[in-house]
Amino acid sequence: MGFFSRLRSLIFSNVNHAIDKAENPEKMLNQLIIEMNQQLIESKKSVALAIADEKKLEREAQNQLTQSQEWERKAMLAVEAGQDDLAKEALLRKQEYDNHYREYYKQWQGQKESVERLKEALRELQNKIEEAQRKKNLLIARAKRAEAQQKIQSTITTMSGSQTAFEAFDRMAEKVDQMEAHNEAVKELDFVSDSANLEKRFAELEKSDSSADKMLLELKAKMKALPDAKQE
């Protein structure tokens, strides 16, 4: 089980590293699936080795049992032949193989239990990888949607930050409007001033002409009143 604990840690480490980078979610997820399948292949190899060790222990235990049975058969032959000393030697050899058989059988049973746990962990790992493959497209779609939302938010933030520029533009436009209005006002004042000067000149001219006429009339009246003018 320690192997699969290390395997899970390695996978999670790769996942966290990829997520931290997260430059391309689709590429990242595809790469993670590839890495998971590679780890699955390595895990299957390790489980296969464990199974091979189990089979080897089973064969060795069976071999020890077979040897024990063989020496028991030889002991029986020695007894039948009336050779008890030889039968005792055979029984001692049988006892050695029995001890070996029990040791190998114990190891075989322990290895067998470990292999069953490894198989179960392997099935669980394979199921999780298959589930990850099924979820991959959904995660890619969610990542793309999140990326699009992030871009929209970034654009909104950028536009909000540009309000100062827009405000400055509006103030400049207002200033230009004020300058144009001022120029129009100056022109209008100049026109009014020119008109007033012209009217004043004509008024003075009219005033001047009226005075001259009056003085001319007065002069003529005076001349008529002179003695010479009467004689005529």
Going by C-alpha positions, the residue among 33, 35, 43 that lies closest to residue 132 is 33
**33 CB-contact burial (10 Å; exposed 0-12 / middle 13-18 / buried 19+):** middle
What residues does each domain of the chain span? 2-161, 173-229
What's the pLDDT band for 97 if we cut at 50, 70, 90? very high
What's the pLDDT band for 20 if we cut at 50, 70, 90? low
**DSSP tag of 226:** S
Is 46 within 8 Å of 3 (Cβ atoms)? Answer: yes
Q: Report pLDDT for 208.
A: 56
Is 57 within 8 Å of 111 (Cβ atoms)? Answer: yes
Packing angle of the helix pair 163-225, 84-161 (nearest 10 deg): 0
Give whichever of 15-19, 140-144, 188-192, 203-207 has the largest mean pLDDT.
140-144
* pLDDT at residue 132 is higher than 90: no
Helix (H) or strand (E) holding 98: helix 84-161
Q: Which of 52-66, 95-109, 203-217 has the lowest mean pLDDT?
A: 203-217
Q: What string of DSSP letters covers 100-150? A: HHHHHHHHHHHHHHHHHHHHHHHHHHHHHHHHHHHHHHHHHHHHHHHHHHH
Summarised one tens digit per residue, pLDDT across range 46-59 is 999 999 999 999 99
* pTM greater than 0.85: no
Q: Report pLDDT for 17.
A: 56
Going by C-alpha positions, the residue among 139, 104, 170 that lies closest to residue 32 is 139
Count the alpha carbons within 13 Å of 2 in the hemisphere toward its beta carbon. Answer: 0
* Alpha carbon distance 157, 160 (integer Å): 5
* Alpha carbon distance 174, 54 (integer Å): 91
Mean pLDDT of 134-150: 82
Q: Which of 73-77, 176-180, 220-224 has the lowest mean pLDDT?
A: 220-224
Q: Report pLDDT for 70.
A: 96
